[in-house]
Structure formats: C-alpha cells, structure tokens
Chains A and B, each alone.
Chain A
Amino acid sequence: MAKIKKIIKTIRVDADKCNGCRACEVVCSGFHADPKWSSINPARSRIQVITDRMKDIWFPVFAGEYTPAECAGRNIYEIDGKEYDECHFCRASCPSRDLFKEPDSGLPLKCDMCEDDPPQEEPLCVQACLNDVLVYEEREEEVDEEVAQEEMEIGIKSLIDEYGLENLVDTVSRLLQKEEQTSS
C-alpha cells in the first residue's frame, strides 16, 4: 500500500498562560472579514475564549466541524479543583449553543488555520497572542494513499445511490467540457 506525506496543522493551547484578553478573537474576525481587515467583530471569530472569571477559567477554543445534531452529553469534569462543563472544550458549531455561528445568519464557522495566498507564517491568532498561549505546530504524518481513494469511493457511491450512475457520468462530462472551454 502506497504511503503519502501529509502536513497536519495544529495549534497547541497552553491554557495556564491565558490572561483572557481576547486579542485572538479580535484579529480572527478581522482577518476573515471581506475585504480582509475591513471590519472587526469577535462574535464572528473562529476562536473563542471560554471565560468564567471567578472560577479561574480562561481558555481559547477553535471552531471545529459543524454538526446538525443536538448533543446529549453534559458531563462535568473536575480538573485541578475547577469544574468544567463538557461543552467548554467542544469545538463543534451545533444547535445546542450559539458559539461559532455568524451572528446575523447563524451559519456555522470553522477555523481554517488562516489559509491565505501567499500563506501566513502562522495563523493570525497565534501571531496576536503575546503571552504565547497559542503555539502553531506543523507535523508531517505518513498516511495510506488508499485512505483517500476509499473516501472518494464512498463519496461517489453515495452520489450514484442518490442520482443514478448515468446522471452522474453525464454531469462529470459536462463539467469537463466547461473546464476545457474556460481554459482554452
């Protein structure tokens, strides 16, 4: 089985260093504004500092995948004498709460590690955090090439199930023609 190398981008969070300033939220919202930096609004940020001041809880969480499902889990975790709600650590944009949603439309938000052209050295939140709470890390992982193909097969099978093989082939050839026209 062939192996391919993949760059995994992550942000390590050293929550003990967080002073709760929310500079990360401010720059995230500005970077993702259209045009870039035209507006600022932390409610649109894809990173949110979870805060419960008197309980000494301050830590940033990044928006992950959207889920349409309500969540049943409401477990309480106690760490170092502090009580956390399970929700605190969850990265999902979900129907159970209003976190990680555009304030006007309610559309889900997801961290994209500030993909940019040319690429940013680090996501903007990492650049803005002067207390080094956020540390950008890239690591290379070897993954089976098969996996990607398997994923594609699953995706195509579901499309065949839904639209029928003939429709799907027609659509693909139409798209190919379009692409040829635009490139010529």
Chain B
Amino acid sequence: MRYAETGYNLEVDLSTGNIEKVETDPKLMETLLGGLGTSVKLHWDRTPPETKAFDPENLLIFSTGLLVGTPMYSCNRTLVTTVSPQTDLLCYPMAGGFWSAELKYAGYDKIVIRGKAPKLVYLWINNDQVEIRDATHLRGKGAVEVQELIREELNEPRAQISAIGVAGENRCFTASIEQSRSSASRGGAGGVMGDKNLKAIAVRGTKDIYLYDGAKFMEHIEEVRAYIRHRNENPLKGVPAILSGIGSPQEMLHIDEKWHTESFAWGNARMRRRDFWTPEIAKQWAASQNSAIKRLISCFNCSQQCGALIAFQDVPRYMMKCFSKLTYAMAAYVEDLDFTWKICERAFNYGLDSFSTPQILAFGFELRDAGILSDKYFEGCPKDKEGRFFWLLEKVAHRDGIGDILADGTYWAARRIGNGAEAFDHNTIKKHEQMNIKLGMMDPLYLLMYSTNEKMSIPQIEGNWPQMPFPTREQREEFVKDWIHLPDEKFKKYFVDWELRGEFANPHYPTPQIASEIVDWMETLHNIDDAIGLCAGMGSFCLKPPYHIHNYPKIISAATGMDLDEESLTQIVHRSRNLHRAFNNLRGLRRVDEKPPEDNWKYRFPELEAEILSTYYKYKGWNNDGIPTRERLEELNLAFVADDLEKRGILKNGQDKKDN
C-alpha cells in the first residue's frame, strides 16, 4: 500500500501517442519526498545537458505534491518542471487551483510528457481512461475560455483543466499555463507546452488517497486549523497590512496599495513614486476594485481567499489574484485601476506571465523612445498609455512584427535588437525578469536570494524573515516572543540585533554567515513546500505561517508512515536542491551568473558582496564557483552526481571538499 502518494506516474509520448501508467519506486519518497524533489530526479535521469527547451526530448512534467489531496489545508500545488526556453535552466512554475488534487484522485502523482504531437491535441484523463484528443478546433482560444469549452465538450463540469493560450501556442518565452483561478507562469513552461502541440490537460478523478495514520494526521491538522483561525483574527502588527496576514498577499481584499505602488518601481522597473498614494487615488481605486470584484475565492482545500472572480463592465469574466493587479498598470504608468481589470483579462487569455510580460512591453516602448527601435515597428500603435499596451501585448502573444522579438523576453530581445538595446535590459538575472524593485542600500539577504536560488523569482524565495528591521528594540523583542517558527533560538537574537541604521544594519548586518543561515532556512522551507505541494502563502512565503519546520515532519510522517524529524526532513530537501543545482551546473550555471542587476541597489559593495556569496557557497557545501562538492554530494547520497560532474570536467581534482 502506498500512502499519501498514489505510486503511479502517467507517461505520455506525444510523438507516438503512447500512454503508459507506470508504478514508481517507493524508495523515491524516502529520498526526495515528491513534487519538485522527485520531478528533478526524472529530469536528471532523462534530460542530457545538450537538450534544449524546444527539443522533443525536453520533458514537461506536471506534478502534484506529496500531500496534495489530503486534508492538509492549502496543499494544492501543481508543479510544472521543464527546461526553460528563456534561461536554458530547469524552471518550475507552480499553480494553485484545483487541478493537482484532481490528478491525485485520478490515481497519478505526475504526468511526464515527452515528444511533440503531430497536430494540436489535448489530453483527457478520466481515472484510468486516458486519451489524446484532437484540439485543432481550439487553436487560438483563450487559456481561460478554453477551459469552459473543454468541460462542455467532455460533458464533465467537474473536470479540472490546465491550458495554454495563443502565447503558448506561439512558443512565447513568457507563456503561462492557466488553470481555474491560478497559473503556472514563470520561465515559459507554456511555450514548451505549445511546442509540444499540447493545448490542455483535462482531469477528473474519483479514487482514494490513503493515509498511514489518519487519526494522528488529523490531530495535527486540527492544531493547524486553530492556528489559522488565530492568525486570521490577529493580523501582525508592525508590518504593512498587505504582509500582516497569511495566504498570498491579500490584494483582492485590500484596496490600500500604498506599500506596493510607492516602494516598487514603475515602467520597466525604473521609477519609484513615493507620493503616488493620494486620497484621490485611494478613492478611485476603491470604487474600481469594488465594482470589479464579484467574490473572493480560494484554491482547493484552503481557508484563505487570495483570489477573486472579476466581473468588470463588459469584460469577459475571469479570475485573478495577488500582484497581477498592479504589474500591468505600473509598467504602463497608468493610474486608473480600471485598466487592470481590462488588460489582465486579455493577458490571462493569451496566457502570459504577469511578472515578466509588463516589463517586456515597457522595455519595448523605452527602446522606441530612445530611437533604438524605429517607428516602422510601431505602425498602427495607439498613442495613449493604455491603448499602446493593449496593442503591444497582442503583438507579443501572436509573435507579430516587433512582438516576435519581444516574445523572447527582455534579455534575448535586447541581444537580437542590439544597437545599445542591451543597456535597457537592466532587470534580469540569468536572463529572467526580476521583481520591479530598486532600492537604496544593498541587502545581504536579498543579494543571496536574488542571486542563487533555483526558483528564480524573488517572491517565492523570501518569506519567513521580515523584509525590513523593525524600528525599535522593543518592537523587535515583542515580535520574537511568539515566533515559534524559527529553526533555532539564535535567530531571535539575529532579529533583535538587526537595526535600521548603524553598525547592525544593512549592508554589514546580517553578517555573511548569519545571512547564509537565514537564507538557507527560508530556502529549505520553500523546498519542503514544493515537495509536498503546499501553497507558499501558508508556509514558506509568509510571516508566522501555520506550517513550519516543527510541524512539517509530524504531518508528513503521519500521512506517509515515514519516521521524519527536522533534521532528516531538511536532509531530504537539501538533497533535491543539490540535485537541482547540479542539473543547472551541467547546463552551464556558474558563479558569474549569480548577481543581481547593477542598479538593483543604489549603494553597492563589490568586495562585501563577493564575501557574502563565498560564505553562502561554503555554508551550502559548494565550491567557490557555486558547484556542490563531492563531499557534500556524498553526504546527501548523491555520489552519482559527483561522478557525473567530474566526468564532464565541471568538478575538478581538488574540488571535492567543502572547504575548497
């Protein structure tokens, strides 16, 4: 009997149409848990470093998490993994919604897709019945609207559907995969899906998932439930409202966006507007938001309501959550929130990532204003701020004209355009658009998170540690009192000591060693969430969340029958992280790639930053070039990885010890 997981993957070769239900090795749960962990292993085993995103051999894996579908609140993530067309590294965009649980109930932990279908198709999984169906009549349909069309076609209103839009069909590098109220966006997995000629995956499942010790498991979940109630009734003090609760930032609920609109940069991550949030804006935005949001909604088995059904004027209905509310408006310098509800409907139906795409559009207009792109590329483009964004968005999604170049993202577009365009690509790390934040003082924690994490997009790396020190020692001491989540008491001192200014402030504090410890802790939490399928908003990306290092092992053990403690759980996710790291090292990732954009902070400290990065590498057991050492890999039972890295000359003689 397999517990928590189903023990089966669905292997689909779209080139041949072959579909197999394959039993997985039970040992894999003990060594890598599931979700991201076990997916990374499949890529490691089957994808050589020569494979590019749009090769048929590139795997596209849709995975549930180990505890998805159990009564663990908020465990509902779909993890998509594939070699990214944008970065050439293993990306893993994730989505909430209802699809992942449905796949588990259909009897599968993952769908492993390879090859390319000869024509556009979709996959229909109804428990044990799996078929590849013609989708040529769905070409060009919106990623949101097509979900309803497929449900009607299958006459199964309870089918859950992941789908791409035109942008995915056209292999845009920032194409997303949309499902219900969520989307797997970062890194262009939607483009890989389109390259495989796969329009959608529909799932319906009515099978059991088994729990090892269900009664014990429910005792833990009841404790979690009480804590969720407590946190929902007692928002944190001392942080902006948007960070005071649990779940994703509650941007569908809160209207006050002073913090985002004034701290984050507008345009192509260019300009902070410190006096944007006036009473007039607050009034207009309240009216706009109240008229647009029909209802707050959740993902599968989650108490929080981070999403919303949007019903705005005559715009077709769709669902939204979180920061998409601001990305297009801020990139376009549009102050009227009505614009958001209109352009997001279009963008979500095209199936484009709301973080990268607005920056790419703003970048396009910057190049025109600078005379690098001539007016001939913009024939027919409206003059107004809103109209021109709609116009360029359509060009990108369809890879039409200048849109074809911009559809590769800022980094690649800048290199194709040349003529000085590279200087306007100022907000990418590893060829990927980062958050639109440009601040003053270099921050050691963010330096590490931006630079080094395999996840690539900053909001999904940070979380449990406050973004800024609290002004007074009294406030800090108050905050640490009920901070039960910390892995070690010493972290309380780190936080209490951390000041806004002076010796114990950025950039010198947290020290390189302390910064490494804090970042390592936060990354570990993210890797646990990504293995079990938990929404980061209830674990790793949240201050004082319901789930933490002290209750994860108990919950996972009760569900699976494994005997985990904090140390052994940490060891497992460090194993998957190092495997992921090595996979990317094989594809060329090195220290030189791990640096934030030059203008990320106004005040930079090259020597100190190098020391921080070296200290972190050493702490992780990596050599000075960011590659896991043989010693570290062997500790994690990954000797075969060390062998491979040596065989390919990536780890050289003398780089086998952690102190190298």
Contact = CB atoms under 8 A, between A and B. Distances in A.
Given A41-B206, A130-B303, A56 B309 contact: yes
A103 B126 CA distance: 13
B206 A43 contact: yes
B309 A54 contact: yes
A148 to B, nearest CB: 37
Contacts of B205: 43
A19 B309 contact: no
Given A20-B298, A21-B302, A39-B209, A128 B225 contact: yes
Contacts of B209: 39-41
Interface residues of B, number: 42
A35 B218 CA distance: 13
A183 interface: no
A21 B299 contact: yes
The residue in B73, B205, B296, B301 that gathers the most chain A C-beta atoms within 10 A of its C-beta is: B301
A130 B70 CA distance: 17
B154 to A, nearest CB: 14
A58 B297 contact: yes
Given A38-B210, A43-B105, A56-B309, A21 B298 contact: yes
Contacts of B148: 54
Contacts of A131: 303, 305
B360 interface: no
A27 B299 contact: no
A47 to B, nearest CB: 13
A40 B98 CA distance: 15
Interface string B205-247: 1111111001101100000010011001000000000000000
A40 B208 contact: yes
Nearest to B308: A19
B309 A53 contact: yes
Contacts of B228: 130
A40 B206 contact: no
Contact of B301 (A21, A44, A52): A21
B297 A37 contact: no
B300 A56 contact: no
Interface in B60-86: 69-71, 73
Given A19-B298, A20-B298, A26-B301, A41 B105 contact: yes
A22 B305 contact: no
Contacts of B585: none
Contacts of A19: 295-298, 305
Interface residues of A, number: 30
Nearest to B305: A19
Q: Dominant SS at the B interface?
A: loop
B311 interface: yes
A128 B73 CA distance: 9
A37 B225 contact: no
Nearest to B213: A37
Interface in A62-108: 103
Interface string A6-41: 000000000000011111001100100101111111
B21 interface: no
B17 interface: no
Nearest to B181: A53
A19 B318 CA distance: 15
Contacts of A42: 105
A36 B71 CA distance: 13
Nearest to B229: A130
Interface string B446-467: 0000000000000000000000
B294 A56 contact: yes
Given A33-B214, A41-B207, A103-B206, 16 more contacts: A19-B295, A19-B296, A20-B298, A21-B298, A21-B300, A21-B301, A22-B300, A23-B303, A26-B71, A37-B211, A39-B208, A40-B70, A40-B208, A43-B206, A56-B294, A103-B207
18 contacts: A19-B297, A21-B299, A26-B301, A30-B214, A30-B218, A35-B214, A37-B215, A39-B211, A40-B69, A40-B208, A40-B211, A41-B206, A41-B209, A53-B297, A54-B148, A56-B309, A128-B71, A130-B225
* 10 nearest A-B pairs in the assembled complex, by CB-CB distance: A37-B214, A43-B206, A130-B303, A103-B206, A39-B208, A19-B298, A21-B298, A41-B208, A19-B305, A54-B317
Interface of B: 69-71, 73, 98, 105, 148, 157-158, 180-181, 205-211, 214-215, 217-218, 225, 228-229, 232, 294-303, 305, 309, 311, 317-319
Interface of A: 19-23, 26-27, 30, 33, 35-44, 51-54, 56, 58, 103, 127-128, 130-131
